[in-house]
Structure 1
């Protein structure tokens, strides 16, 4: 197994017209996360959020048609308001890691580093994600999924931008 393969890293950045502290709070406060995190058309429920190394963000999402899925971040480092390092996995209702709902070869875990840099009242958020404890086949699947990930994160970050515009 390989845990590092920079060739399969996924990186996405977006600039928000909001101060860094507000963007950071939007990632770590349950009542804020519930306003924007996840795919469009899903309702988010924060099941647990313990913002410290070793702590977790366990969440559930429910679509209008009743479909449910869960995910979990396990925090490795939090440097407020500039960085969050975590391992992400799909999860079951109890927070146990589970395989991707539609891909048997998707990595069970991804290692994520989210950084926030403020410049003239705007915040540049950069997310870097890589397969964690993954096989070569899982690295390949992750790499092949970059375009889909870009679309998904872009839509989610658009929801964050809309949320940020309403809370100032």
Structure 2
């Protein structure tokens, strides 16, 4: 199975906030650490260089104290319209590593998020697919769609709450 055949995870969510504000929530370190990541996890930002070729390197600590590291490498940024990045698990030094809970999760996942204005609100669409993955990894990725939708659902709930606070 080649990457072109691998199904893409697509999640669309509407936010009651202006597009510029939603985009800023993705682009500023003080914002990202407030809502990014699984529900209940504490995010610490090691680095945020929000530009094509730049890196967002962060740790996620679960309520029971387990720590994982993640990394974005930004590919494309169009202010208020689109952000494209490659997401990976990493070590503390920023090197790409296997996910701590599965050897079948692709090492690199290409994510594209678009922001579309809609009556003063914003429609956000996230598209995710593995790159440079084996057929087995692609198949595993497709099998994770339901749990990824739940995970991003919780993350986007946190984004919604954060945006509501910002608008006050």
What is the TM-score with the length of structure 1 in the denominator?
Answer: 0.96
Question: Residue 122 of structure 2 aligns to a residue in which SS?
Answer: strand
Structure 1 residue 64 displacement after superposition: 2.6
Question: Residue 158 of structure 2 aligns to a residue in which SS?
Answer: helix
Mapped to 1, the partners of 2:11 and 2:112 lie a distance apart of: 11
Any unmatched runs of 5+ in structure 1?
none
Tell me the equivalent position of 2:137.
138
Mapped to 1, the partners of 2:138 and 2:99 lie a distance apart of: 14
Tell me the equivalent position of 1:125.
124
Question: Residue 34 of structure 1 aligns to a residue in which SS?
Answer: helix
Alignment size in residue pairs: 167
For the pair 1:50 / 2:57, whether they are aligned, the reply is no
Mapped to 2, the partners of 1:35 and 1:71 lie a distance apart of: 16
Structure 1 residue 6 displacement after superposition: 4.3
Question: Residue 75 of structure 1 aligns to a residue in which SS?
Answer: strand
Structure 1 residue 40 displacement after superposition: 1.3
Tell me the equivalent position of 1:147.
146
What is the TM-score with the length of structure 2 in the denominator?
Answer: 0.96
Mapped to 1, the partners of 2:5 and 2:57 lie a distance apart of: 27
Alignment of 1:20-31 (within 5 A): 20-31=19-30
In structure 2, the CA distance between the partners of 1:134 and 1:7, relative to structure 1 (3 Å rule), is: closer
Mapped to 2, the partners of 1:146 and 1:6 lie a distance apart of: 15
Mapped to 1, the partners of 2:117 and 2:5 lie a distance apart of: 26
Deviations 1:67-87 (A, max 9, x none): 101100001100011100111
Alignment of 1:9-48 (within 5 A): 9-48=8-47
Tell me the equivalent position of 1:105.
104
